């Protein structure tokens, strides 16, 4: 009997007494639960985000790729609404893809989303695929040619031009690099030039934007002088052979016209094959600006 009375007392305390406190506790519990769940519901949201494409160091993309994709996210509506587009980006990893032309699938399995909050899932990517053209990377040394504009004065000519270094290193798609034979410098103006000059640290330009110049500047040396003419000479050898060396000089007109046969010497030297051959020794003012043509011994 005592047990029944005790049970009645407990039930009375639970259900009939202190209703105000019990209702307050219930309200607090419900509020806490709502705060945790936020009366949230699952939702979906689409956002356009930047697409970063990653390739290996041995490959290069040769076609224009999409710079943005539309992603569809699912999850808590409050968190979706709080997402800032500027904080999110998509990445497509192509480091394992070999050179060739491929249609790459864009899906949650192939594209990763950076800075995606916990509880938010990537459901879909639009478009669902993208054309990618990959080429192998090739590096090689390419000849540099000076690009000139303007005209030197009448009666003068460019004897020669030289570039230092004569070749530069370039890097680009193999399909482009294999066809690339030379590159040119920025324009160099020759207007009014009557003598040699040097242009230093002039830029080198790639003819194809996909081919990158690794050494971007060169020095260019020009040798300029009076227009050259030809003049023939026959000079007896200084040894006892009794032979005469006949040849033609191609050099600056004024200097060459004033040159006498006695100003020129012929000497014999041993060439790379161990044979004796004649060599013309010119006056100092003809050195470097004169060509020797048609040497014959008689």
Asked whether residue 181 falls in the same domain as residue 213, the answer is: yes
Query: What pLDDT is recorded for position 117?
Result: 84
Give the total number of structural domains in the chain: 4
Q: Is residue 278 part of a domain?
A: yes
Question: What's 239's DSSP letter?
Answer: S
Residue that wins the pLDDT comparison between 270 and 142: 142
Asked whether residue 83 falls in the same domain as residue 164, the answer is: no
Asked whether residue 19 falls in the same domain as residue 50, the answer is: no
For the stretch 35-85, pLDDT in tens is 555 545 788 999 999 999 999 999 999 999 999 999 999 998 888 888 888
For the stretch 102-141, pLDDT in tens is 999 999 999 999 888 888 899 999 999 999 999 999 999 9
Query: What pLDDT is recorded for position 1?
Result: 57
* CATH assignment at residue 114: 2.170.120.30
Q: Is residue 132 part of a domain?
A: no
pTM for this predicted structure: 0.67
Asked whether residue 22 falls in the same domain as residue 55, the answer is: no
CA proximity to 145, closest of 217, 208, 207, 204: 204
Query: What pLDDT is recorded for position 7?
Result: 55
Query: What pLDDT is recorded for position 146?
Result: 97
Asked whether residue 144 falls in the same domain as residue 198, the answer is: yes
Asked whether residue 24 falls in the same domain as residue 48, the answer is: no
Query: What pLDDT is recorded for position 197?
Result: 97
Report the C-alpha gap between 219 and 214 in whole angstroms: 15
Of 93, 127, 161, which residue constitutes the final position of a domain? Answer: 127
Asked whether residue 7 falls in the same domain as residue 52, the answer is: no
% of the chain with per-residue pLDDT over 90: 64
Positive or negative, the Cα torsion across 10, 14, 20, 21? Answer: positive
Structure tokens, 279: 């060599």
Look up the domain containing 255 and give its range: 228-297
**Whether 190 contacts 158, CB under 8 Å:** yes
Asked whether residue 207 falls in the same domain as residue 258, the answer is: no
Whether residue 10 is predicted with pLDDT greater than 70 in this model: the reply is no
Number of H-type helices and E-type strands within the chain: 5, 19
Asked whether residue 222 falls in the same domain as residue 247, the answer is: no
Of 226, 243, 258, which residue constitutes the final position of a domain? Answer: 226
Asked whether residue 149 falls in the same domain as residue 186, the answer is: yes
Asked whether residue 208 falls in the same domain as residue 264, the answer is: no
Give the range with max mean pLDDT: 19-23, 42-46, 217-221, 269-273: 217-221
Whether residue 205 is predicted with pLDDT greater than 80 in this model: the reply is yes
């Amino acid at each position: 009997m005592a047990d029944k009375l005790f049970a009645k007392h407990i039930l009375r305390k639970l259900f009939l007494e202190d209703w105000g406190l019990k209702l307050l506790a219930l309200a607090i519990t419900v509020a806490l639960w709502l705060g945790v769940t936020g009366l949230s519901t699952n939702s979906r949201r689409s956002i356009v985000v930047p697409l970063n494409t990653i390739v290996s160091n041995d490959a290069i993309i040769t076609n224009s790729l999409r710079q943005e994709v539309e992603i569809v996210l699912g999850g808590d509506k409050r968190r979706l609404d709080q997402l800032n587009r500027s904080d999110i980006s998509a990445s497509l990893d192509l480091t394992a893809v070999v050179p060739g032309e491929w249609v790459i699938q864009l899906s949650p399995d192939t594209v990763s989303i950076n800075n995606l909050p916990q509880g938010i899932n990537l459901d879909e990517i639009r478009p669902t695929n993208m054309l990618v053209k990959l080429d192998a990377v090739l590096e090689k040394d390419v000849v540099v040619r000076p690009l000139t504009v303007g005209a030197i004065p009448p009666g003068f000519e460019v004897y020669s031009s030289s570039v230092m270094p004569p070749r530069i290193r370039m890097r680009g798609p193999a399909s482009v690099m294999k066809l690339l034979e030379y590159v040119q410098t920025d324009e160099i103006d020759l207007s009014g030039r009557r003598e040699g000059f040097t242009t230093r640290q002039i830029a080198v330009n790639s003819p194809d934007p996909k081919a990158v110049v690794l050494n971007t500047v060169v020095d260019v040396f020009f040798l300029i002088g009076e227009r050259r003419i030809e003049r023939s000479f026959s000079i007896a050898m200084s040894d006892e052979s009794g032979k005469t060396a006949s040849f033609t000089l191609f050099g600056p007109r004024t200097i060459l016209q004033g040159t006498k046969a006695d100003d020129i010497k012929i000497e014999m030297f041993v060439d790379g094959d161990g044979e004796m051959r004649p060599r013309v020794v010119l006056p100092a003012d003809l050195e470097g600006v004169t060509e020797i043509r048609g040497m014959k011994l008689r």
